[in-house]
Each structure stands twice: as structure tokens, then as C-alpha cells.
Structure 1
Amino acid sequence: MSSRIRVIGGGLAGPEAALQAAAAGCQVDLYEMRPTRSTEAHQTADFAELVCSNSLKSESENTAPWLLKQEMRRAGCFLLEDADATAVPAGHALAVDRVAFSARVAARLEASPNITIHREEVLSLDESDAGGDAALTIIASGPLSSPSLTADLQRLTGSEHLAFYDSISPIVDASSIDMDKVYFAARWDKGTADYINCPFTKDEYNAFIDALTAAEKIEQKSWEQLPDEEAAAAAVPLQYFEGCLPIEETARRGRDTLRFGPMKPAGLTNPKTGRWPYACVQLRQENLRADSYNLVGFQNHLKFGEQARVLRMIPGLEHATFLRYGQIHRNTYIHAPSLLNETLQLKAHPRFMIAGQLSGVEGYTESIASGMLAGIFAAAIVNGRTPVPAPRLTAHGSLMHYITHAETKKFQPANITFDLLPPLEEELRKQIRDKKERHRIQCDRALEAWSDWRKQL
């Protein structure tokens, strides 16, 4: 078998898969269609561009996102190393300078003697040879895969794709924030006080909700249509992913819904009053220069003029300069429970693998993690070994188990949560009432199982 591996996609999963396979001695052809062809959401042609937020989630010990990243670090995850090296202050979360992060990933890819970069669009998938002289093809083209590639993947799988709609948060110029009206704090004082908090009174919140729910939305574009195109455009409303709802959609579900979501004030004591505000918007640092901040959880689908009007009702942002407005884009993913096995190979076409958001994982960290596994599995296969799935006890194994064993009729992309991991034994659950202690035990078990698995590779 050839030792060449073809990787399609230069987002997060693709570069990590390429680097893992290259580190194992495989020759890798990495394809990225940008800048020859861009997407509706990308702004650059950079590798590993972070399209939505700049956060890779919690670094608090014994949380599910922390566990996933700990497993990745222990496995030598290249992109997580680059994320750590380009981290910006974000309290107890890992957030990165987008530009610096992409630059490090690009430099690492270009420096690898085993990786050949192709800046061209892959138009079709050839199941007869998995792409020229490649032994395997890893498809990590992301939720905005080109129409030609998406159509050929649909032909190859023989199954219709599902689609949901994901959103992008706005970014403001730091110099345009009225610092007299805001304060720095981390929720519950966990980590350093790196977030800017914009506090609302009850009257300010109610006025904001009224304006938000009445604001004019952007009309659905042709590229946002579901696979059943014309029928979908006529009869099916936008199907948002529940884990990333636009704020105006959340607000329509109840007047206080945002106060229990992205505008939750709990744990954010205002030093000027000594109390929690009625509601609060948090701003997270975008880059190392700290000259821009994104509105955490404030993805939306409003017209730009409406965004400027409504978001300037946020205390401290009355004169905000927006460097980027919120946007929405269609995300596509395969029906993994029907199509994939736990080594990310297509059941009917095992010389093709799917990684990243296209496989049904949701989130930056999860996408990198799936790319890391795909690279490890692919290298094992071309080197003549049988790939061993990650153990069920681990965060990686539980994530892979979910996307490949979820109930087929209700499958939606998933972030890593403790709900995906095997629960503790019933007797142990009865003995240990404290949830944090239960999670600590689950993390200890996961890291031990991860270490044992790594020894088998």
C-alpha cells in the first residue's frame, strides 16, 4: 500500500490530520481551495482560520473541555500547541489571537518535509484509488464544503446530508468602548478578570429586548438553502443549531431567555455596586494587542444597520465601532451514525475518512481532536497496522462513540460534555453526591485509559 495520504481541507481538522500523519512518516498531500475559491463565511485564505469566536473553551480543571484538551496535549496535538503559544487573556478559557494562531499553523505545515500543499479545489472523490496514488483520503473540508465536493460526497455516501445554520459574533474596536460604564471581571472570580462586562438595569434590558426582537433580519440567501433547494427555500425555515442560536432567535423564546443564556449576570459582581447586574454582555479579547473584543455568544442574523443600532444600546457600546458584524452561514455535516465507524472511516468506503465538523462534531477543539485521531488512524492503516479506536472512557472515545452510535432520527452535532462519557457505577454515584467530585473521578479514569491507549499505538 502507498504511504501517501490525501487530506482535503485547510481549516482545523485537515492541518492537524496532515501533521499527525506526516509525523508518523507518511507523505501527505494537503488540499485547500482558498484563495482560488472562498466561502461565504471565511475572510482570509489562511490555514486554521477561526471563523466564529476565538475561544477553545474552558481550561478549568476537571471540566469536559479541559479533559479533551488534556488528552490532546498528552497525544502531542500540534494545533493545540499552537493555540497555547498564541493564547490571549480569557479568564478560565483558552482563547487565541486568530492571526498569530493561523500564522503558526501555516509555518508548521510549510516546514514539514512530508507535506505537500496544494492550493486548489478538489472537485470530486475517486473511490477507485482514493485520489491518485494516495492510499487514503481524509475529507476535512468543513461545513462549507464547495458544492461540487459536497455533491460528490453525497453521491459517494448514498445518503442525504443534514444541514443547520451557524452564526458569527460581532467584533468591536476596543478604543470605542466607554470604559466608565463597564468593568473587568471573570464569572465567579474564576481565573483572571479578563472579560469586559457591560451591565444592564432592568429597564435597559427590557428596552434592548424590545429593539432586538423587532429588528429586521437578513433575508435567506441561495447558499443558505437546504439540499432540497427550491422546496426548502419555499417551505422550510432556517434550521439553527441549538448550541449556537442567534440572539434574536433566543430572545423570541421568552423575555428572560437571554438573561439565562449569553446575558447571564450570575457571578459577575459589579465593583461599582457590589451586586450582580440585572443582565450582562461579556466582551472577550480578540488578539494579543487587545485592540478588539468580540461579543460573547452574540451571533445574530440581523441586517448590519440594525445590528449597529441595536447593539449600541448595550451599556458601554453607545459609540462602538464594529470591526465585524454578526453573520450566519449554512453548516453541512454527514449522517455519521449511518455512515462512519469509530476510526472515522466510511463503512462502505473505508479508504475514505471524514474529520472535523463535517463528521458531526461541533466546536473548534472537537474539530482539531477529530483531525488528530484521523491522522493517527490513517498513519496506522498505511503503515500496515489495524487502527485502534480511542477508548470509550476517554473524551475522544466518547465523542467518537456519540457521532457513530447516536439515535439516527435525532442526530445533531455535539460538543464534548460529561453526558457523552460513561456514567459512574450506580453504587459509586450513591456514595458521591458532589457533581464536581464525580467529574474528577471520570477525568482520572479517562486520562488513565487514554495513557493505556497511547501505549498501543
Structure 2
Amino acid sequence: MTETLHIIGGGMAGCEAAWQAAELGVPVVLHEMRPTVETFAHRTGNLAEMVCSNSFRSDDDEANAVGLLHWEMRAAGGLIIQSADAHALPAGSALAVDRDPFAETVTARIHAHPLITVEAGEITALPTSGHWIIASGPLTSGALANSLRAETGEDALAFFDAIAPIVYADSIDMSKAWFQSRYDKGDTEEERTAYLNCPMDKETYEAFIDALLSAEKAEFKEGETARYFDGCLPIEVMAERGRETLRFGPMKPVGLTNPHQPQIKAHAVVQLRRDNALGTLFNIVGFQTKMKYGAQTEVLRMIPGLESASFARLGGIHRNTFLNSPTLLDGQMRLRSQPHIRFAGQITGVEGYVESAAMGLLAGRLAAAEILGRPITHPPADTATGALVTHITGGADAKTFQPMNVNFGLFPPIDAKGGRRGRKDRYKAYTDRAKAAWQDWLDLPKTGAA
């Protein structure tokens, strides 16, 4: 009888790991502490609940590293990407997801799989035997985190992650806001109007920045130092770096024309993206915040078009725990001191839904291959998945290790063969090379190659 794989955590990584292992014929027990043990960030008992943005970012698999990661997950029969595709929302070239139906689909498919059993309840200590994957995510319970620290002798690193507010669509003043994707990007009218835009003139922008800087913020516990992931900075932290930072970041006004005042160029623009298929909810793009709730409503209602906004969810900030993976994990994503335990997802030091799911996909396949007696190496660094795992398990400097999104800077360079390539050609060369290497790697478990 095939040995069972146990997985802790029913988020993106845990569900993907369970699916991949089960599809390869390995029985899986998926341990999820919710709803028995709640977290402040989750609203439902569904698996793979999206607690921050509803975006899987760019879906361009020829010019963007995260789009390439989408392609690799599709080629591997990934549950998370399949479910995202099934509940995609208009978002230009990005893959945005209707979050509740997405999570419901993942939950239903996991429960329906004949080789997967879901057990509710908290795992409070590192397991001492068997085959395990820990994919407990950034909100790993205190008891499990303490057990991990006791085993490794290292403090888990931590940074602070922020959540963007969500607005009810019917509370937005459409006499001031308008629908348009930047540069009218998209092949259909729906894609070209995927974003809702709220313009600011210079005076309004300056007043907004003043209010943002002076607003009451969430306080950290004594002894905690705020270290933020650069891809998810709170807006007030960006504003503290310079008054123009937001205008050149999430509030850049380029590629947009206000139909209400087509002759006037906006000084800054706040964009909102549809958060559900009904179009009743919109999240404020790039507006992660640590402002206290009362301050949030006051400051955000300074945005033209949001003066009477009602919020389905206000922004928040939470502690995000991750391992110093270059020190603690081997190339198979196993804990060096306890190799029967693998890790997957954000706790390994990758950032983003897609990257977390990809590390779950990889961990599930590696664990299944080991259980089935067909061990393989992780995919080559030429692939997006391989580049990520190479980075977190040894490519990064352990002394300065911080969470990382997938990007072409993690890939081995492309040989220019007699001349410099332009960026577009270089990225296409990266993706062509990656797709071939990824398909070869996927074929290895079928042949039993080591």
C-alpha cells in the first residue's frame, strides 16, 4: 500500500500540493485548522481563500515571468490555475479572479478527489515521522511556529503585509469616475474597460498626501520592527518615501483619458479593479494600508468619486512569517534537520498567490515521486518554477534573504550569440527555453528517471 502524504495548511500551496500528489496516485491527508481555529484575515471556511488582492497578475507567458509561471502550472494540470481560469474577471492582460467562487471550486474539487481526505484541526508541533509538507502560510499558528523555532534554533524571519480596501460599486460616483484600462489595453471592450478610474488634480493630490501622512496608523507591538515586502508596501509608507512616489506608482496618470473632462490631464489617478463577477465590489489597486479604520474612511473619501464610498472591507496589516530557506531547506524543499518534512508556499520565502501555488505544486510532485520510489531533482533553473526554488534553497544570500516574486532576474542569462538582444526578444528567449525545459521535467516521473 502506498504511504500517505500529510499536508499542513489548506491555502493555495497546500491545496496545490495535495492535488498534484493525489493525481500521481499518492493518498493525501490535508490538515486545515480553519474553521476550528480562525485567523483575523479569513472570512470563510473555504480552502484557498484569497485574503488580499484578487489578482494573479500578468497572464502574458511570453513577456512576463509570472505569466510564464501560469503556463507552467497549466502544463502540470494545476488545480489553482485551472480554478482561477474558470472564474477569471476582466483585468486587461492580468488574470484577476472572482474570489469566492474560486475558493468554492478549489474546496469542492479537493473534497471530491478520492485520494484526498481533509481533516479540520490545528497541528501544533512538527511531526516526528511520516511524509509531511508544511504549507501553513504567513499566518502559521503560534504553536507550530514555536515548534519550528525550537527545532531549527533560528528565529523565523518576519515582515509586515498589508491588505487593500474593497468598495461597494453602487457607492462610487460615476459622474467623476470612468471605466478604462491603461492605454486601452485589451482585445475586447470588457478588457479595455476593466479598471475604474478616479482622477485627482494637483491640489487634491497634495491634500490627500498630507492627510495620508498625518493619519493615525496601526501600532506595532513592543520590540517589533516593521519590514515590508517592496511589492506590497502600504500607501502611507510609499508616501513617506517622497510626495511624488504614489504619482509614479499606483496613482500614475499615464495612458488614461477622463471622458468627463477630456481636455484636462489628471495629476494623479486612483484605479479600482472589479473584485467579483457581479461587478458589485471593487478593490483599490495598490492601496494596501496600515491606517486605522476611522482614518481610512476619512482619507479614502477624499478621492474624487469615493466621497460617499461604502466599504465591504477596509485595509489591514498582518505579520507574515517565513523561513530563512537558503539556510534551512535543501534543494528538495526539505528541512535539513528533519528531511521527512518539506515546506511549500509563502512560508518558504516566495511572495504572491501564484508563486505560493507553484511551490505547492513542486513540493507535492517531489514528495509523491519520493513516496513512489521515483525521486527526481527539482526542475532546472531555466524554468520559472525552477528559478524560484533555486533562489530560495540556496541562490539567495541567507544574510539578506527577503520574500521574492518570480522575475527574469532569477533566470540564468540567455546567450546573446553574437549580439545584444532587445528586452522583448530576450524575454521571449527566456520563455521558449523555459517551456521546453519544463515539459522535459514533467516527463521525468513518468519514466522513473532520477
In the superposition, the TM-score normalised over structure 2's length comes to: 0.94
User: What is residue 391 of structure 2 aligned with on the other side?
Assistant: 402
Which SS does the other structure have where 2:117 is aligned? strand
Equivalent in 424, 435, 452 of residue 440 of structure 2: 452
Shift in Å at residue 3 of structure 1? 1.7
Query: 1:338-380: CA deviations, max 9, x gaps?
Result: 0112221112221100000001110000001000111101100
User: What is residue 200 of structure 1 aligned with on the other side?
Assistant: 200
Which SS does the other structure have where 1:351 is aligned? strand
User: What is residue 76 of structure 2 aligned with on the other side?
Assistant: 75
Which SS does the other structure have where 2:162 is aligned? strand
Aligned AA (1:435): R
Equivalent in 400, 404, 415 of residue 405 of structure 2: 415
Q: State how far apart, in whole Å, the 2-side matches of 1:190 and 1:59 are.
A: 13
Q: Structure 1: 5+ residue runs without aligned partners? A: 130-134, 226-232
User: What is residue 105 of structure 1 aligned with on the other side?
Assistant: 106
Q: Structure 2: 5+ residue runs without aligned partners? A: 446-450
Which SS does the other structure have where 1:350 is aligned? strand
Equivalent in 167, 171, 174 of residue 176 of structure 1: 171
User: What is residue 85 of structure 1 aligned with on the other side?
Assistant: 86
1:36 partnered with 2:31: no
Preserved CA contact (<8 Å) 1:267 1:276: no
Aligned AA (1:33): M
1:368 partnered with 2:357: yes
Which SS does the other structure have where 1:57 is aligned? strand
User: What is residue 391 of structure 1 aligned with on the other side?
Assistant: 380
Aligned AA (1:152): S
Aligned AA (2:185): K
Q: Map of 1:1-400 to 2, 5 A cutoff?
A: 3-60=3-60, 61-127=62-128, 129=129, 135-191=130-186, 192=191, 193-220=193-220, 225=221, 233-234=222-223, 236-271=224-259, 272-273=261-262, 276-400=265-389
CA change 1:454–1:214 in 2 (3 A) is same
Which SS does the other structure have where 1:342 is aligned? coil
Which SS does the other structure have where 2:321 is aligned? strand
Equivalent in 435, 441, 448 of residue 429 of structure 2: 441
Which SS does the other structure have where 1:375 is aligned? helix
Which SS does the other structure have where 1:73 is aligned? helix
Equivalent in 410, 425, 437 of residue 415 of structure 2: 425
Query: 1:258-306: CA deviations, max 9, x gaps?
Result: 1111111222233442565211111010101000100011010111111
Query: 1:34-86: CA deviations, max 9, x gaps?
Result: 11111122222210010101000011342111111011111111111001001
Shift in Å at residue 425 of structure 1? 2.2
Structure 1 runs of 4+ aligned residues shifted over 3 Å read none
Preserved CA contact (<8 Å) 1:266 1:276: no
The count of aligned residue pairs is: 437
Preserved CA contact (<8 Å) 1:47 1:105: yes
Shift in Å at residue 88 of structure 1? 1.2
Which SS does the other structure have where 1:332 is aligned? strand
- Could you say what the CA RMSD is over the residues aligned between the two structures, in angstroms? 1.4
Which SS does the other structure have where 2:342 is aligned? strand
Q: State how far apart, in whole Å, the 1-side matches of 2:81 and 2:417 are.
A: 37
Shift in Å at residue 321 of structure 1? 0.4
Preserved CA contact (<8 Å) 2:2 2:27: no
User: What is residue 230 of structure 1 aligned with on the other side?
Assistant: none
Shift in Å at residue 184 of structure 1? 1.2
Stretch of structure 1 that moved more, 338-347 or 389-398 = 338-347
Aligned AA (2:146): A
Aligned AA (1:447): K
Q: State how far apart, in whole Å, the 2-side matches of 1:412 and 1:269 are.
A: 38
Q: State how far apart, in whole Å, the 2-side matches of 1:361 and 1:274 are.
A: 44
Query: 1:393-431: CA deviations, max 9, x gaps?
Result: 010010111111201111001001111111222545x33
